[in-house]
Amino acid sequence: MTDDKADSCPETIAAAFGVASDPAFGAVAPPLYLSTTYEFAGFEQPRAYDYGRAGNPTRDLLAEAIAKLEGGAGAVITASGMAAVDLLVSRLPAGAQVVAPHDCYGGTIRLLKARAELGQIGLRLVDQADAGAFASALRERPRLVLVETPSNPLMRIVDIRSICTMAHEVQAEVAVDNTFLSPAIQQPLALGADYVIHSTTKYLNGHSDVIGGAVVAADAVQVEALRHWANVVGSTGAPFDAWLTLRGLRTLFPRMEWQQANAMAVAHYLESHAAVAKVHYPGLPSHAGHAVASRQQRGFGAMLSFELVGGIEAVKCFIAAVGCFTLAESLGGVESLVAHPATMTHADMGAEARALAGISDNLLRLSVGIEAEQDLIVGLGQGLAACGG
C-alpha cells in the first residue's frame, strides 16, 4: 500500500503515511488486517498477499513508513527488538565474526554470547570510541559491526560516519541500533550505515504497550533477503502490534521534541543540584560526546543518567521519595521512568563488568516523558531532598 505522502517531509510521513488510502470504504485510519490467509483470484492466481507470516498489509504499511523515515530501501517488522537484532545475526554464515560495543544493550550481548557459545558466530566486544581498539577488532575481518549510539546507560556517543568508513574498508557491514533516538533525531543510513535496527517497543511506538522491532536496509536486495529470512524463521510481527505501532508513530516528532526539551531541562536541573555528582546527557557541553552528537544528531534525545553523591543508601532514599518518575525498566514512552541499572537493566552483567563499563551503584537512568517540565523537576527534587541533598 503506497500513497501520495510517499515523498513528503518526515513529519508528514509519520503523521499521515497510509492515511485515507483504503480503497474499500475510504477509511481515514488505515484498516487492521488480521486475516492469516488470502483468497486466490483463481487457479494459479495469487494476489499481493497469500499468508500472514510472509506478508500482511498492516505490517507492510508500518514497514514502509519506518523505512521512509530512516531513508532506507525497505524494512522488515519483527516481533521484538531482539528478533530484529537476530534477523541480521542469524543469517550470517557459520563462524562469521561480529563486532559489537562492549556496553551495548544487555539483551543484545546475551544473544550474541549465546550464538557465540554455540559456535555459530565469532564475537569481539570493543569500546568503539577507542579508534585503536576498533581498528584491531577490524583486523579479524568481521562480517557485521553492530553500533549503539547513544549507549545505555552512560549515553556514550560513537561517530557513526567514521565507524562506517573504517568497517567498509574491510568489507564489513554496519548495523546501527537507533532505538535510543529514533529517525526523528538520527538517521544512521545517511551517515553510511547499511542497516538500522529498532526496538519499536520504545520511541517509535512510544506508549509502552507493544513489544516490537524493525530492521531497515539501505539496499533493496538486502531488504528482500531480510524479508525472506523473516518468513523462513517466522519472526515477523503481529498485525495488531503493527497497527498500534503505526498509531504511535503518528506523534513521533512532537513527542520527541517535547521529550528532549524536558530532558534538557532535567539535565540542567540535575547538574546544578548538590546531591548529584555527575550527569550523563549528550546535550550538556560537559559530556564527552557532545561535539559528535551535535554533528550527527538533530537533538540530544530524552534519555539521560546521573550519579548521586551518596551510595546505595542514597539511591534507596531517592527511589522511595521521587515523584513523577515510575521505577521501571524500558524507555521511550510518554511517561517518565527511572531505573537503577546496577540492580535492574544491567544486573546480569555482574559487578566486575559493570565497574569496567563505568556503571556505578549510585547511577540512575531516566527516560523523560511528556509531562510538564515543572512537575518533573518537583518530582526529582523530592527524591534528591530525601537523599540528603
Ligand X SMILES: *Cc1c(COP(=O)(O)O)cnc(C)c1O
Residues near ligand X (CB under 6 A): 80-82, 105, 107-108, 148, 152, 177, 179-180, 199, 201-202, 211, 213
Shorter beta-carbon distance to ligand X: residue 80 or 182: 80
Beta strands in the chain (DSSP E): 74-78, 96-101, 121-126, 144-148, 173-177, 195-199, 213-217, 276-280, 303-308, 326-327, 337-339, 363-367
Residue 269 among the catalytic residues: no
Please give the grid coordinates belonging to residue 355: 565497574
Please give the grid coordinates belonging to residue 227: 524479508
C-alpha to C-alpha distance for 231 and 253, rounded to whole angstroms: 31
Are the beta carbons of 159 and 186 closer than 8 angstroms?
Answer: no
Q: How far is the CB of 177 from ligand X (least distance, A)?
A: 5
Shorter beta-carbon distance to ligand X: residue 21 or 179: 179
Dihedral angle, C-alpha 78, 82, 86, 87, nearest 10 °: 10
Which of 177, 195, 281, 365 is catalytic? The answer is 177
Q: How far is the CB of 274 from ligand X (least distance, A)?
A: 31
Shorter beta-carbon distance to ligand X: residue 80 or 236: 80
Residue 139 among the catalytic residues: no
Which of 68, 86, 103, 105 is catalytic? The answer is 105
3-state helix, strand, coil split of the chain in percent (to 5) is: 40, 15, 45
With CB atoms as reference, the residue minimizing the distance to ligand X is: 81
C-alpha to C-alpha distance for 149 and 35, rounded to whole angstroms: 38
Residue 177 among the catalytic residues: yes
Shorter beta-carbon distance to ligand X: residue 17 or 180: 180
C-alpha to C-alpha distance for 79 and 98, rounded to whole angstroms: 23
Which of 53, 113, 250, 316 is catalytic? The answer is 53
Q: How far is the CB of 126 from ligand X (least distance, A)?
A: 17
Angstrom CA distances, 347 to 66, 106, 187, 344, stand at 32, 9, 31, 5
Amino acid present at 175: A
Q: How far is the CB of 108 from ligand X (least distance, A)?
A: 6
Which of 68, 115, 143, 202 is catalytic? The answer is 202
Residue 298 among the catalytic residues: no
Shorter beta-carbon distance to ligand X: residue 198 or 273: 198
Q: How far is the CB of 84 from ligand X (least distance, A)?
A: 7
**Active-site annotation, residues:** 53, 105, 177, 202
